[in-house]
Amino acid sequence: MRWDIFCKVIDNFGDIGVCWRLACDLAERGEQVRLWVDDASALAWMAPGGHANVQVLPWHTLPDGTWQMPPEVHNAPWPDVLIEAFGCEPPGEWLASLPREPQGTPPVWLNLEYLSAEDYVERSHRLPSPVWHGPGAGLRKVFFYPGFTARTGGLLREPGLIEACDAWQANAEGMLQWLSQLPWQSGKPRAHARRVSLFCYAPSPVGPLLQAWADMATPLDVLLTPGQATQAALAWASTPEGQAALGLGTMQLVPLATALPQPDFDRLLWSCDLNVVRGEDSAVRALWAGRPHLWDIYRQDDGVHADKLAAFEQRWMANWPAALQEAVHHVQAALNGLDHRTGERQSVAAALHWLMGPEGWPQWQAHQRASRQALATQQDLCTQLLAFVTSAR
């Protein structure tokens, strides 16, 4: 089938990250995919080699508000499937030109929504929405929700991903050798140290986490992704507290010089003992890595991100011991600037020390792995999309 995916890059590249993974997953399964994107610049580092079966097309709007159609698609066949990623509203001219019944067969139009673990996702998944007005009048849109339960659209998970991850993690020497060859700005990961990846938003208060890690007796390398995470960590390192903590010598900050392509970013997560990730795309990849992780969720002005984080914690940690749940929740709340909701039960340092100590660490590793295995029994997003579209046509 022919698929058109429309994507607008809002900020932080999460939108195009998800859309590119979906496009490649579909293409690997034999589908014909065109990715329409208003700013494809991030693909230069995210996917430098592109994909032979994914055509990236510019989505340009002229100053008068009309859409500029690329010449190469003027006589191309209509798509069988139209995916509107995250409510990005495809060009009106494009929608108006699509075939309608009974004269022709319209594409299956799907609005691929943002990821959430909240209850409304199950109620809203696959809900149809006939379009009565505007350029899309006469078509029908269906809301497709990724999620964490069998009554949702699932998560992106390419065939063989779990097996590839497990095989990678079984080769400790190979992981370290691969890590040493990455473009580090300064320093390199040490063989005897625990590894933490840090990929966070700029406003995130990472100082308490870094301070707690520096105070641990176990050697620890914090591998910093370029941009906001490196800036936040180095800002902390320049303070008197940070300088004193780094002077202890057990923790080192290891910044990457350049951003990694998606496959290498996945391997970075596989190679770390703890992953601090942000947004949607990297959070899902951290789940599949099967290692302990902390989620710096995308902040929203109305504060609903707090409810989204709480809903995720309730589902992901449903079968975990209470003490483990509380410690992870406490640290995650602090990372997201929500620690005012946790009360004064324990400090971030105390929670992290327990989580990464002899009592908490084995529990965290085991339950993270178990939650991953349970999630992997559900059908992935791409498989569900293909099944739905096949039944809808």
The C-alpha atoms of residue 50 and residue 54 are separated, in whole angstroms, by: 8
Cβ proximity of 291 and 370 under 8 Å = no
| For the chain, the helix, strand and coil percentages under 3-state DSSP, each to the nearest 5 | 40, 15, 45
Beta pairing class for 67-68 and 60-61: antiparallel
- Catalytic residue status for 15: yes
Q: In the block, which residue shows the tokens 């660490």?
A: 361
Cβ proximity of 94 and 68 under 8 Å = no
Check 280, 296, 313, 380 and give the catalytic one: 280
What is the b/e burial string over 217-236, where b = at least 16 CB atoms within 10 angstroms of the residue's CB?
A: eeebbbbbbbbbbbebbeeb
- Catalytic residue status for 101: no
The C-alpha atoms of residue 267 and residue 69 are separated, in whole angstroms, by: 38
CA dihedral 150, 153, 159, 161 (to 10 degrees): -80
Q: Say whether 266 sits in a helix, a strand or coil.
A: helix
**Chain centroid to CA 84: how far?**
18
Q: Which amino acid, 360? A: G
The C-alpha atoms of residue 124 and residue 145 are separated, in whole angstroms, by: 7
Cβ proximity of 88 and 8 under 8 Å = yes
Check 15, 84, 113, 313 and give the catalytic one: 15
Q: Which amino acid, 80? A: D
Catalytic residues, which ones? 15, 280
